[in-house]
Chain A
Amino acid sequence: DGGITQSPKYLFRKEGQNVTLSCEQNLNHDAMYWYRQDPGQGLRLIYYSQIVNDFQKGDIAEGYSVSREKKESFPLTVTSAQKNPTAFYLCASSARRQVGEKLFFGSGTQLSVL
């Protein structure tokens, strides 16, 4: 079945540590996105990528980094510069980054700080 796979489901970060969240899709989609979800708030865009080897900052990119070396993969690194990393992280994809394109989401990763 085609879809988006995020791993791990739960992740714990120690002070000063970088952690990487995995996102893989087999939908052959060009566009991929990372969102952050905090309790009682709407999803906020961290980074997006429209094509391999290209990515753009979203609304809250500080303290995060991404790469897009392969079409199917868009990993997110939460760096030590992100002072409040505890949140639910969702990866999504669409065929293209255009108005009217349906979004497909992964099942999310809950990141907590030890």
Chain B
Amino acid sequence: KNEVEQSPQNLTAQEGEFITINCSYSVGISALHWLQQHPGGGIVSLFMLSSGKKKHGRLIATINIQEKHSSLHITASHPRDSAVYICAVSPGGSQGNLIFGKGTKLSVKP
């Protein structure tokens, strides 16, 4: 079993829809990252959180430490949101290497 599981693997939405991507992990963590990988391959860090909720524009990330679960929400989705969204965790208590999920491929249709 992977230590970081994302769901769904693939997601197709219509423009304007509310989107949720989920990340579950099985290890204790110090922080969780949400990353966006563009079709060209470059990756951008969207959020880093260790508790609660963060919001940036139309993107919202939440984390529940007790349930070992995080969600990334996109409101009013747009075709330019089409990308692979990657969840990664920093194992707790050390400078351990990040553990990455396999990613969720999102396609937003106009």
Contacts and interface: CB of A to CB of B under 8 A. Distances in A.
Contacts of B88: 42-43
Contacts of A55: none
Most chain B CB neighbours (cut-off 10 Å) among A42, A98, A102, A106: A42
Query: What are the 7 tightest A-B residue pairs by CB atom distance, in nearest-first order?
Result: A42-B100, A105-B43, A108-B41, A107-B42, A99-B30, A43-B100, A99-B90
Contact of B97 (A45, A100, A108): A45
Nearest to A104: B45
* Interface magnitude class on chain B: 20 to 34
Given A41-B102, A42-B103, A110 B41 contact: yes
B103 A103 contact: no
Given A43-B86, A106-B42, A100 B30 contact: yes
Nearest to A96: B95
Interface in A1-53: 40-45, 48
B48 interface: yes
Interface string B30-62: 110101000011111100101000000000000
Interface string B73-103: 0000000000000101010000101111111
21 contacts: A41-B102, A42-B2, A42-B103, A43-B88, A45-B97, A45-B98, A59-B97, A98-B95, A99-B31, A99-B90, A100-B31, A100-B50, A100-B90, A102-B45, A103-B33, A103-B98, A104-B45, A106-B42, A107-B40, A107-B42, A110-B41
